[in-house]
């Protein structure tokens, strides 16, 4: 089953479609490795994987430019990777190494990167939304033509910080793209047990924010919706809200017996695996010869393997540096 | 053997059984079984009204719990971790702690708010706070820190009998601690500190997650023939001054072990009180072993260096005991 | 100009209409006295008067029963008075006397009364909404057939606590009547500078809460809307939201130079004075003979005068009682 | 003569003039002129983008200010009063104070957050908090408490040069205080405490709203020939230990005056530090004059009894100085 949009998109630019596949696969393989490394106690703390949801970040990130800003959640390995943080630096971070993108201080939930304007990695649900509003405000005040993309789960919608942020962004007409990753659960809480009104795009109307729902399992759909939204934002039409309907295939974190949903439901969604879907579409269109696919897989596997080797070989920050970065090193202010 | 987690669960179960005004509410307390599996199975036993999952809205559901208490219920509110309680502080400080006074004694708020606290599990800066000492600053609240399986089992019921708001801080590292628990274990007093080890040379004052640390340190010190008394504060507000002063009057030396950041810690308060009331009893200044003043880092070795440890307690005691031993 | 509803209502029950007039006048005169007493430094702290908005609380409170609960804001003298707290106890409270309804500990912003289930008096904008949700939850869990009425200004709508409370009330289907007193300003901030979407009743749709807007200058309109809502709530149809469109004739508090609105605007709204409107309607219907009106005024003036005398004659709580009521007196828990 | 309010306004104006990355945001800072009239006239001068009224959403606009700082701006966020900051604590503690560390030094947060603090104006329990000492518990923040017109004028610019978040607490009772201010008054240092009165017998340590109280007490004590040194902390985090210890080393006695509630107060921290570092210098335990541990009551006489006063300071000093004078 291949959608018309996929058919056309692949026909128009098969290289780009293959790249999207590759990006999704990078995230998938990287996180599969993370899960194993967690079991091997190489990675510790909380680990939240994005497996099943890769189409969302891949599709959105594909239309985000280098001057744009990105704010994410604790389920952000994929976002970080897609934003351009090297897999090596991310993996080293999760190993707690000084070579990590945050020198080992952040861990899985707190990946940051100044160069690519990747502002975390926030472990407080909805805590990143006000930051996104502020980043967009700064851009607007400085006359910069940039968009701030803010990812968050549907669970965040119940938080007051969501409400305040939507209102501020709309009131001040700010260039923010709110990307609500609706995977139907917040830990064990199904959407209909967290929201009295479960049509999230409709909720955005309460703030006069343009919004629509998107099939978050189809990376081409996501990309097209994100492009439409980002273009509109760049054209000055204020904040936009996308509800990206997706599903996490794995447990919430490494400590989740998954008592709140049925195996059947999970399997049904797995039938819509975004990686498998795009792969099938490319195959149908004869745009994924075996050797291309093998090469693609190998590249991805190499990248992950290298990342692990890099992390393994990494060093620990000397303990006497513990209190560094509580305050800025006293050089001239940035 | 019973774990701290099981003891806590038994306490909640007992409360739900004994008083139909009691109910549990919080994020994922029901179907998920609790972020730390404390309430596992209670939904099945008591149903979704009394084991009530909430959306992610800490201010909203903590405030709703306070309102329900005003309305005659006895809510047990679970905030998954202390880190998220920052979102509910307005409700805790401006309403729960304040309504009785503002209303001239008319409206008390019989609510119990439980939360997991502390670091040590590599959860990094936004998930490792120890704010129980900080919360103990607020008049109108009672603040508890069960450190033992017995206290995990027994403090809740007593707290529920309190007409005023009680916060219970459960250190995340304690949930898997197991010990024997009497079959008829039940409510315990929440007014007094407890001596967990008697000793003559120095008083090590600890609470919650630092009690095991203090006991470990005391063991190690015993090998150096330093005889430590370990005092478990149990209740952080109001502090059991008498217990602290009695012990210090005996040992003339004290070390406070507190996972809070040093500046403005509960340990500072204890130092101040001991100085105010027992200045002339002291043979050395009271020492503090607190967390380093950093947002807790992820990397294991950095985190370990940031938090109080038995080694740091031993070192502090050695200093305090000084040449006298 | 007399509305059809007013004509009919007065015809059906002139006594009741006169009582509504009397209630509004009680609030009006009481607060006029408060303003004077503030200038005379008898009352201190912050003082927020409700002058111009009396129809709102009067109309709503008229349909609230003794088992219902009421939660209000810092602009709550009227609500307290209408709920049945004696004027004497309220005035004594503002004088800081032990005979005050909160023994002088609360003051103008914190009037409470256990007997009439009047739960304050909250000086944190939106801080009372979660309490109202909880009170209603308690009623529902105890199987009590009561409604919790929660008053708040339109400024509160921007707060996260509003959002979280609306969602909880709707999700749990609780008997709450949310009464949004939309007087167009939050201190100096006009509604369109605080909300990206200014149709507040529409906002309630985001929570699937039944809502409508009401002319808050017409006590009969307010009463009828409130009755409809309260009846629906009692019939089990969950929370309701009323946007009560009103206006405050006076400054926000005693420290407000009112630089944010024009005299003309204020005067225009004063032309819709709810007291004057109902009085005129009663006169038109020949239901307010001069002597009735004189008597009514005299009763109200007497009540206010008595309240002041009572407050003046009140006593101070002994200072050694300062630390009382931080914790309950240790008798058996309530 | 310049009032504290005018000095603060001049400081904001100067910042807006000198650095186009600076802007002011908060509730009613614009058309209303500020809840305490600090920003009166600035909207007209700088326009609604740079003097930016916000809706009532403390978490939202404080977080937005933090985000704007990340985005290269230098926001001055006004929280109308400290009481409402409880609604924004998640943003302050979990983001502003933490981002630099979590990001391994990549993202500093150059934001200044101003708020009115303190009691004494009969605003009752929800509008009279003194939480500046409490906030000083949080690593990653710098906390200032200007007590003089000069500091009101000069601290802001220095704070804006700080690459990290700075909280400025303005005591409500100070706004109308007036004193001479040099025409060229400008930025002041924010690293050091200041001696506001030299003396030999006792050190009275105060900050913000309690500095005038301490000075009044010192005057009264002078009449009894007790010669007090008054130390204005100025910066509550980090504390200027050297200044405190130097003065105490001279006087051997100290009284801390702190409007925060006693338990867990900044005063406790100072007691602890003095004990830790100057135990053998002390001729008497350090005393504390703090607020009574009650939600501040409305009635004037009760409120007055709850807050520190010159009389209570005098009494405490007398006790500390004891028989020695
Ligand atoms: C303010 C806050 N409350 C609670 C938590 C604990 N918690 C972590 S993730 C999570 C669920 C979030 O769900 P959602 O926003 O849908 O994101 P998802 O995990 O599904 O990606 C919860 C409750 C938290 N991190 N922050
Ligand atoms: C959380 C909070 N922020 C700010 C304030 C300061 N403040 C008091 S009243 C008010 C305006 C509220 O407006 P609205 O809700 O419309 O009620 P109104 O005063 O118009 O009745 C503000 C900003 C407060 N009391 N609480
Ligand atoms: Mg989710
Ligand atoms: Mg209003």
Is D127 catalytic? The answer is yes
Q: Which residues of C touch D60 (CB under 8 A)?
A: 158, 160
* Angle (deg, nearest 10), helices C274-284 and C219-234: 100
Q: Which residues of A touch D110 (CB under 8 A)?
A: 333-334
Q: How many CB atoms lie within 10 A of CB C115?
A: 11
What confidence tens digit (pLDDT) does each residue in B148-206 have?
999 999 999 999 999 999 999 999 999 999 999 999 999 999 999 999 999 999 999 99
- What are the DSSP calls for B99-155, one per residue? HHHHTTTS-----EEEEEE---SS--TTS----HHHHTTSTT-EEE---SHHHHHHH
Residue B325 has pLDDT above 70, yes or no: no
Structural element, H or E, at residue A12: helix A4-12
- Of B248, B145, B164, give the one whose Cα is nearest residue B206: B145
* From B6, B58, B170, B269, active-site residue: B58
Residues with CB under 6 A from ligand 1: A 75, 123-125, 153-156, 181, 183, 185-187, 252; B 27, 56, 58, 80, 84, 87
If you measure from the C-alpha of residue C102 to the centroid of ligand 4, how many angstroms do you get, rounded to a whole number?
Answer: 26
If you measure from the C-alpha of residue A247 to the centroid of ligand 3, how many angstroms do you get, rounded to a whole number?
Answer: 8
- What are the DSSP calls for B75-86, one per residue? EEEEEEEHHHHG
pLDDT of residue A5: 85
Q: Give the whole-number percent of chain B exceeding pLDDT 90.
A: 99
Residue D177 has pLDDT above 70, yes or no: yes
C-alpha B287/C-alpha D319 separation (Å) is: 25
The number of the ligand 1 atom at minimal distance from the alpha carbon of A248 is 20
Cis check: omega of the bond before B323, within 30 degrees of 0? no
At residue C255 the predicted structure's pLDDT band, cuts being 50, 70 and 90, is confident
Residue D258 has pLDDT above 60, yes or no: yes
Cα atoms in the Cβ-side hemisphere of radius 13 Å centred on C44: 18
**Average per-residue pLDDT in chain B?**
97
Distance from CA of A44 to the nearest CA of B (A): 6
Residue B289 has pLDDT above 50, yes or no: yes
Any idea where the domains of chain D sit in the sequence? 2-179, 194-321
What confidence tens digit (pLDDT) does each residue in D54-107 have?
999 999 999 999 999 999 999 999 999 999 999 999 999 999 999 999 999 999
Is D58 catalytic? The answer is yes
Structural element, H or E, at residue D56: none
Mean pLDDT across the stretch C266-277? 97
Mean pLDDT across the stretch D205-210? 98
What confidence tens digit (pLDDT) does each residue in C29-50 have?
999 999 999 999 999 999 999 9
**Average per-residue pLDDT in chain C?**
96
Q: Give the whole-number percent of chain D exceeding pLDDT 90.
A: 99
C-alpha A229/C-alpha A208 separation (Å) is: 15
What confidence tens digit (pLDDT) does each residue in C51-92 have?
999 999 999 999 999 999 999 999 999 999 999 999 999 999
Strand partners, D74: D22
Residue D41 has pLDDT above 80, yes or no: yes
Reported ipTM: the value is: 0.98
Q: Are A53 and A24 in contact (CB under 8 A)?
A: no
C-alpha D135/C-alpha B137 separation (Å) is: 11
Q: How far is CA A200 from CA A173, A203, A207, A213, A217, in A?
A: 20, 5, 12, 8, 17
pLDDT of residue C6: 87
What confidence tens digit (pLDDT) does each residue in D270-283 have?
999 999 999 999 99
Residue C245 has pLDDT above 70, yes or no: yes
CB contact, 8 Å: B264 with chain A? no
The number of the ligand 2 atom at minimal distance from the alpha carbon of C252 is 19
Residue C158 has pLDDT above 90, yes or no: yes
Q: Tell me the torsion sign for CA atoms D156, D162, D163, D166.
A: negative
| Contact call for C327 and B90, based on CB within 8 A | no
- Of A161, A191, A152, A134, give the one whose Cα is nearest residue A74: A152
pLDDT of residue A30: 98
* From D127, D129, D171, D252, active-site residue: D127
Q: In the A/C pair of chains, how many CB contacts fall below 8 A?
A: 66
The number of the ligand 1 atom at minimal distance from the alpha carbon of B127 is 25
Residue C299 has pLDDT above 70, yes or no: yes
What confidence tens digit (pLDDT) does each residue in B223-275 have?
999 999 999 999 999 999 999 999 999 999 999 999 999 999 999 999 999 99
What confidence tens digit (pLDDT) does each residue in B103-151 have?
999 999 999 999 999 999 999 999 999 999 999 999 999 999 999 999 9
pLDDT of residue D324: 53
Residue C333 has pLDDT above 60, yes or no: no
pLDDT of residue A131: 98
At residue C1 the predicted structure's pLDDT band, cuts being 50, 70 and 90, is low
Domain D2-179 homologous superfamily, CATH = Thiamin diphosphate (ThDP)-binding fold, Pyr/PP domains (3.40.50.970)
- Of A160, A174, A139, give the one whose Cα is nearest residue A67: A139
C-alpha C165/C-alpha C132 separation (Å) is: 8
What stretches in chain A show pLDDT beneath 50? 332-334
* From D6, D14, D27, D58, active-site residue: D58
Residue C140 has pLDDT above 60, yes or no: yes
Strand partners, D81: D116
Rounding to the nearest 10 degrees, give the CA dihedral for residues A140, A142, A144, A149: -50
pLDDT of residue A333: 41
CATH for the D194-321 domain, from 3.30.365.10, 3.40.50.280, 3.40.640.10, 3.40.50.920: 3.40.50.920
Buried b (16+ CB within 10 A) or exposed e, C244-266: bbbbbbbebbbebeeebbeeeee
Q: Which of B32, B56, B77, B83 to mutate to test the pocket of ligand 1 (most atoms within 8 A of CB)?
A: B56
Q: With a CB-CB cutoff of 8 Å, which residues 30-89 of chain D face chain A?
A: 49, 54-55, 57, 59-73, 75
C-alpha A213/C-alpha D269 separation (Å) is: 53
pLDDT of residue A330: 75
Q: Of C332 and D94, which is predicted with more confidence? A: D94
Residue C332 has pLDDT above 80, yes or no: no
CATH topology identical between D2-179 and D194-321: yes
Opening angle at CA B7, ends A190 and B204, nearest 5: 115
Residue C282 has pLDDT above 50, yes or no: yes
**Alpha-helical runs (H) found in chain D:** 4-18, 42-50, 58-70, 82-85, 89, 99-102, 132-135, 149-161, 210-223, 241-251, 266-278, 300-306, 310-321
């Amino acid at each position: 089953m291949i959608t018309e949009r996929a058919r056309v998109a692949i026909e128009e630019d098969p290289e780009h479609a293959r790249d999207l596949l590759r990006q999704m696969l990078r995230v998938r393989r990287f996180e599969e490795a993370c899960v194993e490394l967690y079991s091997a106690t190489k990675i510790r703390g909380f680990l939240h994987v994005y497996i099943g949801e890769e189409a969302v970040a891949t599709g959105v990130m594909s239309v985000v430019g280098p001057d744009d800003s990105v704010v994410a959640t604790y389920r952000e390995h994929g976002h970080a990777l897609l934003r351009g943080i090297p897999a090596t630096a991310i993996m080293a971070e999760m190993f707690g190494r000084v070579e990590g993108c945050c020198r080992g201080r952040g861990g899985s939930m707190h990946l940051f990167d100044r160069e690519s304007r990747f502002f975390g990695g926030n472990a407080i649900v909805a805590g990143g939304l006000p930051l996104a509003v502020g980043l967009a405000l700064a851009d607007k005040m400085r006359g910069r033509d940039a968009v701030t993309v803010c990812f968050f789960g549907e669970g965040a919608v119940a938080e007051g910080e969501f409400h305040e942020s939507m209102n501020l962004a709309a009131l001040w007409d700010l260039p923010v793209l709110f990307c609500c990753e609706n995977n139907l659960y917040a830990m064990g809480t199904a959407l209909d047990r967290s929201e009295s009104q479960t049509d999230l795009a409709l909720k955005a109307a309460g703030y006069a924010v343009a919004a629509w729902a998107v099939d978050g399992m189809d990376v081409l759909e996501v990309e097209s919706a994100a492009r439409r939204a980002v273009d509109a934002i760049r054209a000055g039409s204020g904040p936009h809200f996308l509800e990206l309907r997706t599903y996490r295939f794995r447990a919430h974190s490494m400590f989740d017996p998954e008592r709140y949903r049925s195996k059947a439901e999970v399997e049904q969604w797995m039938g819509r695996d975004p990686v498998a879907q795009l792969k099938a579409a490319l195959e149908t269109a004869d745009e994924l010869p075996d050797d291309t696919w093998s090469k693609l897989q190998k590249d991805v596997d190499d990248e992950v393997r290298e990342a692990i080797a890099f992390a393994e070989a990494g060093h620990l920050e000397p303990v006497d540096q513990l209190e560094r970065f509580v305050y800025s090193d006293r050089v001239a202010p940035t | 053997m019973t774990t701290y987690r099981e003891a806590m669960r038994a306490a909640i179960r007992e409360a739900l059984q004994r008083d139909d005004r009691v109910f549990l509410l919080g994020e994922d307390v029901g179907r998920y079984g609790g972020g730390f599996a404390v309430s596992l199975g209670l939904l099945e036993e008591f149903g979704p009204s009394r084991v009530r999952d909430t959306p992610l809205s800490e201010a909203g559901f903590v405030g709703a719990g306070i309102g329900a208490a005003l309305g005659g219920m006895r809510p047990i509110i679970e905030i998954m971790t202390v880190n998220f309680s920052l979102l509910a502080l307005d409700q805790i400080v401006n309403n729960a702690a304040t309504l009785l006074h503002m209303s001239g004694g008319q409206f008390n708020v019989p609510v119990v708010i439980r939360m997991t606290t502390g670091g040590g599990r590599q959860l990094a800066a936004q998930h490792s706070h120890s704010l129980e000492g900080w919360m103990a600053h607020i008049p109108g609240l009672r603040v508890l820190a069960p450190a033992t399986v017995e206290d995990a089992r027994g403090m809740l019921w007593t707290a529920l009998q309190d007409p005023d708001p009680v916060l219970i801080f459960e250190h995340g590292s304690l949930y898997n601690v197991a010990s024997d628990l009497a079959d008829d274990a039940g409510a315990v007093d929440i007014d007094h500190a407890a001596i967990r080890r008697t000793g003559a040379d120095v008083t090590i004052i600890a609470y919650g997650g630092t009690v095991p640390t203090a006991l470990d340190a005391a063991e190690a010190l015993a090998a150096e023939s330093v005889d430590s008394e370990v005092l478990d504060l149990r209740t952080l507000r109001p502090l059991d001054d008498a217990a602290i002063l009695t012990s210090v009057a005996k040992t003339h030396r004290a070390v406070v072990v507190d996972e809070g950041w040093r500046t403005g810690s509960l340990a500072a308060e204890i130092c101040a009180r001991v100085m105010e009331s027992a200045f002339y009893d002291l043979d050395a200044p009271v020492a503090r072993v607190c967390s380093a003043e950093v947002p807790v880092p992820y990397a294991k070795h950095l985190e370990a260096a940031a938090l109080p440890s038995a080694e740091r307690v031993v070192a502090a005691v050695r200093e305090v005991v000084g040449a006298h031993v």
